[in-house]
Amino acid sequence: MIAVIDYGMGNIFSIRNALEKVGADVRIIAQPEELNDADGVVIPGVGSFGEAMKQLLPFQEKITSAIETGLPFLGICLGMQILFERSQESPESGFGIIEGEVIRLPDNVLAPQMGWNELNIKRDTNIVKGIEDGDFFYFVHSYHCIPKDKKIVVATTEYGTEVVSIIERDNICAVQFHPEKSGGKGLLLLKNFLKSIKC
């Protein structure tokens, strides 16, 4: 069972429908203890970093523990950013599971980035099996992640600067774009995540 965490700031039904389309057994959860039976965790999200951290506070200990024990995890958009230590958007601290920070897109581009943009794949991992350099995915964000460890970067996207669009480390995968809004390639990425749970 894949637990999709509902903390009031995600495209819950879109991601649930997309995951079910690729064969996942999905449960939307709103209480931390419901994570006990999960085989994988997905945190989607749109909106403010600080507000997300406030809403996720009841889940933080449980999510951190689940990740540390090796449970497959997928963070989407804001669900990627909250893994980091801090964000320029808000004074609240992030989970700090990934070293680094989240900063605003440069002034020379429109923010948010809203629409389709292509991936530059930096390394071949299971999450991008079948996805090619130059494939397009759908983005909606004003801030982007700067990981301290560049080895975790799987793909980037050009938008006024090099934007980290996929990271992967051990059982953690996170994407800046919305796979549930990215057509067939987005579904393929979700299918790849599902395979990591079934292994």
Separation between Cα atoms, residue 182 and residue 178, nearest integer Å: 6
**Which active-site residues does the annotation give?**
77, 178, 180
Q: Residue 177: its pLDDT value, please?
A: 97
Domains contained in the chain, CATH given: 2-198 (3.40.50.880)
Closest CA to 196 of 178, 166, 170: 170
Closest CA to 63 of 93, 96, 85, 17: 96
- Predicted TM-score (pTM) of the model is 0.95
pLDDT at 68: 92
Rounded to whole angstroms, how far apart are CA atoms 54 and 139? Answer: 24
Compute and round to an integer the Cα radius of gyration of the chain. Answer: 15
CB 177 within 8 A of CB 137: yes
- Give residue 8's pLDDT: 84
Spell out the per-residue pLDDT of the chain, length 199, in tens: 999 999 888 779 999 999 999 999 999 999 999 998 899 999 998 889 999 999 999 999 999 999 999 999 999 999 999 999 999 999 999 999 999 999 999 999 999 999 999 999 999 999 999 999 999 999 999 999 999 999 999 999 999 999 999 999 999 999 999 999 999 999 999 999 999 886 4
Which pLDDT score is estimated for 46? 84
